[in-house]
Amino acid sequence: MDLQIAGKTALITGASKGIGFAVASALAAEGVRLVVNARDAGALGEAAERLRALGAEVHPVAGDVSELKHVKSLLAATREAVGDPAILVANAGGPPTGPAETLDDAAWARGFELTLMSAVRLARGVVPAMKAAGWGRVVFVTSLSVKEPIANLTLSNAFRSGVTAFARTLANEVAEHGVTVNSVAPGYTLTERLDELFADDYARARLVSTIPARRFAAPEEIASAAAYLCSAQAAYVTGQMLLVDGGMVGTTY
């Protein structure tokens, strides 16, 4: 299906690998002009080359989205490269892990800046121009932890729920201007993040056995959902959280 976004501009953060790179690839295939971000400039440059091989216009801008000054310079560099982005896909690495009982204030502060405030700052930075243009798409990459807390991922559980509530609130504020705000909540997906969290084969096999689909997601499967939310066809879908989890979260609602 043609998503009818060819020629539009997108800023995708956390885009050098994993889910973010898969989203960038999906939008590149639709003819979207891309600004891609991650911290490691070398890996980001290589990712940009792979995206260009798909025929896309790609501008890599390195920086850490957990820091306000980097978000500001990323937004300025984006405007310089492609103008105000019509699409934002806000993604990054996961916050520090640890149990709720013992995580210290420094870890909480890190999770707040990385997971919640990066999303808030990026969205605040792009939404005014989207409203003025009468068209915009904001997609946050969150996690199934929003529906069902994951043991030891206290900060992900807490701050991604915050992102989801922020998205719902912002969605209602801007819907009349043709701007939609949604999130994609991935289930367990085959990326380096999964390798970090579940290095042990036995733990991985046990985890897979709890997923109704009996397999992990490919990053491209999460990206397809994100790309749909960026499409012209999704114009009337806003404030939603789209779980892409192979059936893992077993609740009816």
Ligand X SMILES: NC(=O)c1ccc[n+]([C@@H]2O[C@H](COP(=O)([O-])OP(=O)(O)OC[C@H]3O[C@@H](n4cnc5c(N)ncnc54)[C@H](OP(=O)(O)O)[C@@H]3O)[C@@H](O)[C@H]2O)c1
**Chain residue at closest Cβ approach to ligand X:** 18
* Strand 179-186, strand 58-62: pairing: unpaired
Site for ligand X in 124-183 (CB under 6 A): 141, 143
Write down the least CB distance from residue 169 to ligand X, Å: 21
In the shown chain, the binding pattern of residues 33 to 72 toward ligand X, with x for contact by CB under 6 A and - for none, equals ----xxxx--x--------------------xxx------
Nearer to ligand X, 43 or 54 (CB): 43
What residue type is 116 in one-letter code?
L
> Strand runs (DSSP E) across the chain, as ranges?
9-12, 33-38, 58-62, 87-90, 136-141, 179-186, 241-244
- Minimum CB separation from ligand X for residue 227, in Å? 15
Report the distance separating Cα 30 and Cα 2, nearest Å.
7
Which residue lies nearer to ligand X by CB, 174 or 248? 248
The residue among 194, 202, 197 whose CA lies nearest residue 218 is: 194
User: Are the C-beta atoms of 151 and 100 separated by less than 8 Å?
Assistant: no
Q: Is 246 in the site for ligand X (CB under 6 A)?
A: no
**Among the candidate windows 90-98, 102-110, 129-137, 161-169, which touches ligand X by CB under 6 A?**
90-98
* 89 makes contact with ligand X (CB under 6 A): no
Nearest approach in angstroms of CB 3 to ligand X is 21
91 versus 154: smaller Cβ distance to ligand X: 91
Distances, alpha carbon 144 to alpha carbons 161, 227, 242, in Å? 10, 18, 9
* Residue owning tokens 């149990």: 99
Out of 9, 78, 91, 182, the residue judged to bind ligand X by CB under 6 A: 91
